[in-house]
Amino acid sequence: MSHEIYEHDSMFYAGETPWHGLGTSVERALTAEEAMIAAGLNWTVKSVPLYAMYDGGMIPVENRRGIIREDTREPLAVVGAVYHPFQNSEAFEFFDEAVRTKEAKYVTAGSLKNGRKVWILAEIGKSFKVADIGDEMKKYVLLYTSHDRTSAVDIMITPIRVVCWNTLSASLRQGERRSRLRHTPNIRSYAKNVSEMLGIVNEYYQDFEECANLFAKTPLKNEEEFERYLDKVGFKIKEDTSSNSRIIKIRDRLTELFDGQGYGTDMNKHSIWSAYNAVAEFVDHERSTRSTKNYNSSEDARLDSQWFGSGALIKRRAWDKALQMTK
């Protein structure tokens, strides 16, 4: 797999080698300060005045500023006058207390596109097994932001299925699984409140575990039920359209994953849980994602999609439809 790692990007990981296979191995979870250094994130960005060349001279651009990465002096974005950069050190500070009290540990972190995107993944608490079938789930929190206006400061709860490293997306009963902060001058005061997100992490995972157990204990009685599930998720065959051949191919592959080719299907076959995970595995590992100039390969685009884009939306819809089938 190639990566969206540019000349001035770097990262670290703790414990097992992560999906990207890059970084510096460490024997234990790091403190925030150590993590920034290990991940190459101990640099800052600065908002600077913006000028335009005109008629042989320089004139100021009103209501616009530039964001500069100070160590490389590389321009990252043009932003509005009220935009306030969120420093990498502030992103890591969110996890300091949780790491200090051993409620969390840093697993992997890094930057993409020469620092335009920055993220850190932390493992929260102990893993659990779904419905006593041996299907292990690990609990993570993903914090990410951008220095090029492509995203706000975003904190996302991210369960990961160990057997295949599927990242699962779910909208559970307590509401949104994300906490977003805009880049404004008040970002620091808002950021202090983000720590409250850790307070609902355990509630989220209790809800998640309850739903996953219910999925695993609820069988799909026949092939028609699985086909109706695929229809609801969005893989529906339409009448008289040229796209049917692609949809049929996807449905055939999803059926193969559901019937036994998917990771972990031997632990819990032909249930709503295995149906949902067939979709998650397909999205994370097999679904084609259109590569653009912003990515080095379709694999890079897939990673962005499965966390932040259309892949995450498909998995969330798959979860919602699965939940509806248990009622």
User: Can you tell me the distance from the alpha carbon of 3 to that of 117, in angstroms, rounded to the nearest whole number?
Assistant: 13
pLDDT tens-place string over residues 194-220: 566 667 778 888 888 999 999 999 999
Structure tokens at 173: 């009963």
pLDDT tens-place string over residues 71-102: 999 999 999 988 888 888 777 776 777 777 78
For the chain, the maximum distance between any two Cα atoms, rounded to a whole number of angstroms, is 75
pLDDT tens-place string over residues 170-193: 654 444 455 555 555 544 454 455
Q: Is the pLDDT of residue 227 over 50?
A: yes
Q: Hey, which of 76-85, 92-101, 118-127, 136-145 has the most confident mean pLDDT?
A: 76-85
pLDDT tens-place string over residues 280-289: 999 988 887 7
Is the pTM of the predicted complex or chain greater than 0.85? Answer: no
Mean pLDDT, rounded, of the chain: 79
Q: Hey, which of 68-82, 130-144, 195-209, 292-306 has the most confident mean pLDDT?
A: 68-82
- DSSP code per residue over 245-260: HHHHHHHHHHHHIIII
Q: Report the pLDDT averaged over residues 225-245.
A: 85
User: Can you tell me the distance from the alpha carbon of 204 to that of 221, in angstroms, rounded to the nearest whole number?
Assistant: 29
User: Can you tell me the distance from the alpha carbon of 284 to that of 160, in angstroms, rounded to the nearest whole number?
Assistant: 11
At position 198, the amino acid (one-letter code) is L
Question: Length of the chain, please?
Answer: 327
* Cβ-Cβ contacts under 8 Å for 325 (sequence gap 6 or more): 218, 225, 229, 272
Q: Is the pLDDT of residue 117 over 90?
A: no
